[in-house]
Structure 1
Amino acid sequence: MTARSPQRVAIAGAGLLGRLLAAQLARAGCEVQVFDPAADPLARGAAGWTAAGMLSPVAELECADEHVFALGLRSLALWPGIVQALGRPVDLRFHGSLLLAHRGDEGAARRVVDLLAAKAPSGHAPQVLDGAGLRELEPEVQRLPNAWLLPGEGQIDTVQAMQALAETAAEAGARFHWGSTVVAAGAGHLQLEGGRRIEADHVFDVRGTGARPQLPVRGVRGEILHLHAPGLRLQRPLRLLHPRHRVYIVPRPGDRILVGASEIESEDRSPISVRSTVELLTAAHSVLPALAEARVVHTETNLRPALPDNLPSLHVEPGLTRINGLFRHGWLIGPALVEQALSSSMPTP
């Protein structure tokens, strides 16, 4: 009997979703090709590079629905296995996250916490922390009158993960075609800029904003600051609840702290504005006074891919799967969406 040939898979886009798909499909024995306009694996065009990597399904219920929450919970269960299979250092923590509010913002903060408690299933509601409880978890956080713990939530170092996913996929046999822009994706084929056509048994279109005009996706600008704060002991992400904007502070290895993130309805990719810088750093310093001597070492802006309803979309038809619109939830829900896509679109290699 003749052995069946490997499934030929073409992936349009090498952001987080494209790398997750490439790594899993290549390890499963598929013949995988990935096409992306970026110059190389470390070019930071994809939104996944810029994200802080918070894995916070409960916190996101403020602006997301129960479907995103369910995908987030599933992804929390999937991430440890994904990281273990990479065989490379990727910082992944599940120490929970904190919601914080200043005294003058107590009313607005409690409305958010009440909303989360109402939408979250039993066992996932925010837990009130008194001053002693807050100091025990994060001694360097300013003594704020309003604090809540979201247990079980986590974070991942997005830069380490993006690098490791591409390296693992390539080692498993996936071929990455950098500097290759896909202008159209259809069942069983990709059309590249310049006219070249790629044939495949199955196509995955995960181009984010690059999927236009085939999808009504828009980019939502986000801005983030990278700080170096030697000696600052922060174990988990912090979210400052404010009536006008949300600020998060996320620790990373090597005495690094991320502060973000603005959410602006614009596709401007220019550097971070003075206004955003002042607002983000002022808010962060009000929570962590020790940041006064931190150094701003890097800033980034990028575009989150969003559909008109701000919800993720997974579309499967013979020969073609499209995943898009992950908006601000890419690292939170990406693994679960990839799992669903593979289970519904791919035969066993």
Structure 2
Amino acid sequence: MTQAVIVGAGLMGRLLAWRLSKSGVKVSVYDASRQDASLSAAWTAAAMIAPISEKPLCHPDVFQLGLRSLQLWPQLLAELQRDTGQSVRYLRRGTLVVAHPSDAAELTLFKNKVCDAELPGESYAVALDKEGIAKKEPQLSTSFDRGFWLPDEAQVDNRTLLSALSSAAEQYGAEFHYSAPVQFDGDRHLYRRGDSELAADIVIDCRGAGMVSRAHYPEQYPEKDRSTQSIEGIRGIRGETIWVACPEIEIHRPIRLLHPRYHLYLVPRGEGKYQLGATELETNDRSPVSVRSAMEMLSAFWALAPEFSEARILSMETNLRPATQDHRPVIIDDTHDNGRIVVNGLFRHGFLLAPALLEKLTLGALSGLISLPKRSSTDPRRVYETRY
């Protein structure tokens, strides 16, 4: 039996563990964090599948991969439900993009960068006036008089998904080892858990920001660190989010608030809970949310809907997103020489990119190990997607 080691139990690691174990591969997964995946960027993420929203900010490759993932997510979730009997919340109600009247130029820039593309769908960016915004989100602030509705975009319940993926992988025999950090010995091209070598036919490195070398942050780690365990150029980008509970207000879809300095998002999480984020700071610091960031995010709640003034703060969370220089993901296929594959650099686009990258690996480096799933007789879009 083929044996595979996956280093990192984030979104990409769990998708691969599920796929490989389902194909008959003996899979062992090692992760530095606890079982709740709190160190994974996927745990903290808002889990939006929003390629149109991201188009003005991301590389064209990311945009194209995102469009593909938007097609693949319903299929993956339908298959996951068949394997586990567990339904993962997936909403396709689009994204509402707004800006304050004083920042109207941001909407013009957004329109110029989005509407020049030939995109799938009958209406991928619908211009809205104040009345149109109010029809989509009646409880949103009345200060927004222009915006766009992007009807094709979606959102997935990331924490339920992570749990379902590990359950599905374990059902097919995968073993997960938590609080189990792994190091890569670059001189000998092997992975170690403590003093023991991790022997396998293939090792897939999905450590995300856990791969970042201290050498990238000399101001935080002044000692010399010549570690070769990181990909050149991978760095951590700190993101901060805040969760609140506000049953008095009902927002139906993600809201993007454009601003010259930052682009904030508000995501409904169900049961009257909302997540707002996120800052982007060039640092490898995982410490708690700063006062400045908290004030900016809390003021954004007020700006989006005054009723949020009575919301109750549930948590403030920080995490690190692994980023490359151009924010494109990287797949290193080193299977021929060293028996490993590296998948990294998903940045803040993990849920936007993961299904498309899984497909690339399935058709490429892992084509001999992974069997493609059978097509469902039902259209998964009808099962999981809701638009109005």
TM-score by length of 1: 0.93
Counterpart for residue 19 of structure 1: 14
Counterpart for residue 106 of structure 2: 108
2: CA distance between counterparts of 1:84 and 1:14? 21
After TM superposition, the structure 1 = structure 2 runs for residues 45-60 of structure 1, keeping only pairs within 5 Å, are 45-60=39-54
CA contact (8 A) 1:10 1:190 kept: no
1: CA distance between counterparts of 2:191 and 2:331? 21
Report the Cα offset of residue 286 of structure 1: 1.0
After TM superposition, the structure 1 = structure 2 runs for residues 121-160 of structure 1, keeping only pairs within 5 Å, are 121=119, 123=121, 125-143=124-142, 144-160=144-160
Query: Tell me, what secondary structure is at the counterpart of 1:223?
Result: strand
Q: Which moved more, 1:306-315 or 1:237-246?
A: 306-315
Query: Tell me, what secondary structure is at the counterpart of 1:199?
Result: coil
Structure 1 185/255 Cα, relative in aligned 2: closer, same or farther at 3 Å?
Answer: farther
Query: Tell me, what secondary structure is at the counterpart of 2:51?
Result: coil
Report the Cα offset of residue 112 of structure 1: 2.3
CA contact (8 A) 2:322 2:346 kept: yes
Q: Which moved more, 1:110-119 or 1:55-64?
A: 110-119
Letter in 2 for 1:339: E
Letter in 2 for 1:129: L
CA contact (8 A) 1:191 1:197 kept: yes
Query: Tell me, what secondary structure is at the counterpart of 2:116?
Result: helix
CA contact (8 A) 1:12 1:185 kept: no
CA contact (8 A) 1:98 1:147 kept: yes
Counterpart for residue 220 of structure 1: 237
1: CA distance between counterparts of 2:33 and 2:118? 39
Q: Which moved more, 1:293-302 or 1:162-171?
A: 162-171
2: CA distance between counterparts of 1:72 and 1:286? 29
RMSD: 1.8
Deviation digits for residues 134-179 of structure 1 (CA, Å, limit 9, x no counterpart):
1221111112111101111011111111111112111221011222
Q: Percent identity?
A: 38
2: CA distance between counterparts of 1:93 and 1:83? 12
Counterpart for residue 78 of structure 1: 72
Counterpart for residue 321 of structure 1: 341
Report the Cα offset of residue 231 of structure 1: 3.5
1: CA distance between counterparts of 2:273 and 2:60? 32
CA contact (8 A) 2:133 2:146 kept: no
Report the Cα offset of residue 110 of structure 1: 1.2
2: CA distance between counterparts of 1:245 and 1:95? 24
CA contact (8 A) 1:47 1:302 kept: yes
- Structure 1 regions of 5+ residues with no counterpart? 1-5
1: CA distance between counterparts of 2:195 and 2:65? 37
Report the Cα offset of residue 70 of structure 1: 1.3
Query: Tell me, what secondary structure is at the counterpart of 1:266?
Result: coil
- 2:285 alignment partner, one of 250, 264, 268: 268
CA contact (8 A) 1:321 1:341 kept: no
Deviation digits for residues 174-216 of structure 1 (CA, Å, limit 9, x no counterpart):
0112222221178x98522422112222221111122243313
TM-score by length of 2: 0.84
CA contact (8 A) 1:11 1:203 kept: yes
Structure 1 132/273 Cα, relative in aligned 2: closer, same or farther at 3 Å?
Answer: same
1: CA distance between counterparts of 2:174 and 2:8? 13
Report the Cα offset of residue 270 of structure 1: 0.9
- Structure 2 regions of 5+ residues with no counterpart? 213-228, 371-388
After TM superposition, the structure 1 = structure 2 runs for residues 234-253 of structure 1, keeping only pairs within 5 Å, are 234-253=251-270
Query: Tell me, what secondary structure is at the counterpart of 1:334?
Result: helix
- 1:337 alignment partner, one of 357, 362, 366: 357
2: CA distance between counterparts of 1:114 and 1:84? 36
CA contact (8 A) 1:189 1:200 kept: no
After TM superposition, the structure 1 = structure 2 runs for residues 31-50 of structure 1, keeping only pairs within 5 Å, are 31-39=26-34, 41-50=35-44
Letter in 2 for 1:214: S
After TM superposition, the structure 1 = structure 2 runs for residues 230-309 of structure 1, keeping only pairs within 5 Å, are 230-309=247-326
**Equivalent pairs, count:** 342
1: CA distance between counterparts of 2:76 and 2:249? 29
2: CA distance between counterparts of 1:204 and 1:348? 13
Structure 1 154/312 Cα, relative in aligned 2: closer, same or farther at 3 Å?
Answer: same
Structure 1 170/128 Cα, relative in aligned 2: closer, same or farther at 3 Å?
Answer: same
